[in-house]
Amino acid sequence: MASRTFIEAIREGMADELRRDGSVIVLGEDVGKKGGVFLATDGLWAEFGDDRVIDTPLTESMIVGASIGAALNGLRPIAEIQFADFIHPAFNQIVSEAARMRYRTVGGATVPMVIRAPYGGGVHGALYHSQSIEAFFAHVPGLKVVVPSTPYDAKGLLRSSVRDEDPVLYLEHKKMYRSVRGEVPDGEYTVPLGRAVVRRPGRQLTVVAYGLMVHYALEAAERVAGEGIDCEIVDLRTLRPLDRDTLLTSVRKTGKCLVAYEDNRFLGYGAEIAAIVAEEAFDYLDGPVSRIAGPDTPAMPYNHILEDWFMLSPAKIADAIRKLAAY
């Protein structure tokens, strides 16, 4: 085991898969010699060369379209979208082509590719470098959506994503890149897609989260523990396919559910979690299924004070926990 930052674990995951499988390639804007805008691919070009670590034009639709073509012809691309905010020009390629290829060919063709995209705010990125885009894509059958929260999971889930036969959107919260550190095994391991994990066991209330919000929820749970509120924290890890069993088992045990997500509240991913809990665990509930999320404003402000107003925090989540616990 070795201590790694979140971004180091992602880089190691890509390097390991490039070494393991000669069909794996990496492509995107500035991923080559520069190593990417966040240095996620730093050192890969020097080791694997420009046949396998490929700089592309600034054209997201082409990056994804070329990856689909490569995947259909025996390669396993890892495509980087420099910021999740810029993924929208590739929306048609992802949703109408990659996600539907297995269906339209009656299983005759698959698209084994990964699309990596840094998402989320809290880094003074303002309008075009702070968006959470998971709800757009988790809606789509045929596309898997992964959001790791720890370096261990970041590496293990990435390796599983590369080996999967279907397209995977792999979202990385950029604020975690160098602020989150954890132990990562040196040897071969994977983390299976579609399985959530209980990060903190508890008896009175379930908090459901993913990505950065897992860390905020854990901190919030520690804050309220001294007040006699015992929270269970469920880290979804994979938004699609969703691990309903872990989610519902936790809520049926605690009787209360709070969903924490950074995206706009209205029609955000947490709304689906709330609907599933209300439909399938209603008889176990001792209070309303609650959500705490970003406000319904068009974008995250740049101003530090307004950015803090938009972003969730451990303090805000703790307040939401107190309110639900008191119901």
Sign of CA dihedral 25, 210, 305, 292: positive
| 197 membership: H or E segment, kind and range | strand 197-200
What does each C-alpha distance from 185 to 2, 42, 191, 200 come to in angstroms? 6, 20, 12, 22
Measured between its terminal Cα atoms, the distance across the chain in Å is 44
Q: Which residues, at least 6 apart from 135, have a Cβ–Cβ distance to it below 8 Å? A: 263, 267, 268, 269
- Known active-site residue 129: yes
The phi, psi pair for 78, rounded to 5°, reads -115, 105
**Closest by alpha carbon to 234, among 219, 222, 217?**
217
The verdict on whether omega for the bond into residue 241 sits within 30 degrees of 0, i.e. cis, is: yes
Angle of helix 151-163 versus helix 6-20 axis, rounded to 10: 30
Catalytic residue among 88, 124, 129, 215: 129
Query: What are φ and ψ of residue 54, in 5° steps?
Result: -115, 120
Q: In the Cβ-directed half-sphere of 130, how many Cα atoms lie within 13 Å? A: 22
Q: Find residue 320's DSSP bridge partners.
A: none
Q: How far apart are CA 33 and CA 177, in angstroms?
A: 20
The catalytic site residues sit at 129
